[in-house]
Chain A
Amino acid sequence: MELGQMQGRLAEFTKSLYMEGILDAQFLQLQQLQDESNPDFVVEVVSLFFEDSEKLLNDIARALDQQSVDFKRVDAHVHQLKGSSASVGAQRVKNACVAFRNCCEEQNVEGCLRCLQQVKQEHYLVKNKLETLFRLEQQIVAAGGSVPMAEMTF
């Protein structure tokens, strides 16, 4: 695939992520904070996010698995996940966390387990999508091209 095609593909793919609500404007902000002196900023932040979130999801699962569930603790983890997903622009993960917090308030284990599933799904989705995005970017750079500065033109 030649460079122009790759760049087109990246643009289309990126656009779809925003259109589907998987990413929001905060991700764009991250891209805008990337420059020559911080060339890997987005990848770094996103990697931190996935490290962090995977741990949180495990902690949440463990907390929900207890004989007597500590909903405050679960809520605290979800709150953290909500915050970090908002900070990287992972909109659907964030929204799933908002719903999750409602379940925590209701102190409903079943409901919480369902919410956890939902969050995990969204998390998995955005992870795959971003991995694809970064791969596309790498291909372009490897082919000698540059990844255009992020902008929302739609």
Chain B
Amino acid sequence: MELHTDLADTQQKQKQHFHVLAVDDSLIERKLLERLLTESSCKVTCVDSGDKALEYLSLLDSQEIEYSTDLSSSPPSAQQEAGYMKVNLIMTDYSMPGMSGYDLLKRVKMQGSSWKDIPVVVMSSENVPSRINMCMEEGAEEFLLKPLQLSDLKKLQPHLLKSLVHPTEDISTSNDHGSDNNMIHDIALNDSDNLVSERKVMSPEPLERRPKINGLLVV
């Protein structure tokens, strides 16, 4: 099966981790979320408001245009770079001053938005059914209650997979030691417990392999 033969391949392509844009006005929440996400092998960019989130998305768009103009002639690494920056998931707090998470969700999902297909997950410390429904109806993929746990991030696997440009390409494995919570691990290991131990034996990866590019855009 693909998994075993592609192991070396995927390790090389480690750069292609899921890129999550985390939006929360609380510094503590951002720090926590960043840690949870990096533990799940995602690249994380944190911003402290909906406005900054939109700014960042626009910035990426303009960078992507630059890359794509000579994408065909550029080396694979540059192409990977462009893909690497792309946001695969937005996680936003619901209650924020100014633009709320709900407002951000609406903006991202609106008709004609170039970010319409980016999955959005809304988080809140309050369990308010009407709020949850509102968000789901507006196109949120998931509504998570805070405080978040590693297990919650597992729920996000399918949404991240959906956003992969090339579904047949690597399910990148950063194969963290000791991380049963490595969500990317889990994608491949849904069906067989045997695979778990096999993988761990095959790749006693050192920490350094995991790309440590966490953008923490703090104001």
Contacts and interface: CB of A to CB of B under 8 A. Distances in A.
A33 B35 contact: yes
Which DSSP category, helix, strand, loop or mixed, fits chain B's interface? helix
Interface stretch (A13-21, A78-86, A114-122): A78-86
A139 to B, nearest CB: 26
By size class, the interface of chain A is 20 to 34
B26 interface: yes
B138 interface: no
B32 A87 contact: yes
Given A45-B31, A83-B26, A29 B149 contact: yes
Nearest to A46: B28
Interface in A25-61: 26, 29-30, 32-33, 35-38, 41, 44-45, 48-49, 52
Nearest to A87: B147
A88 B27 CA distance: 12
B23 to A, nearest CB: 15
Q: Pick the most buried of A36, A37, A79, A86: most chain B CB atoms within 10 A of its CB.
A: A37
Contacts of B207: 36-37
Given A26-B147, A33-B39, A86-B125, A45 B32 contact: yes
Interface residues of B, number: 17
B28 A48 contact: yes
A30 B35 CA distance: 10
B36 A84 contact: no
B146 A86 contact: yes
Interface string B25-59: 01111011001100100000000000000000000
Given A80-B26, A84-B26, A87-B146, A44 B31 contact: yes
Interface of A: 26, 29-30, 32-33, 35-38, 41, 44-45, 48-49, 52, 79-80, 82-84, 86-88
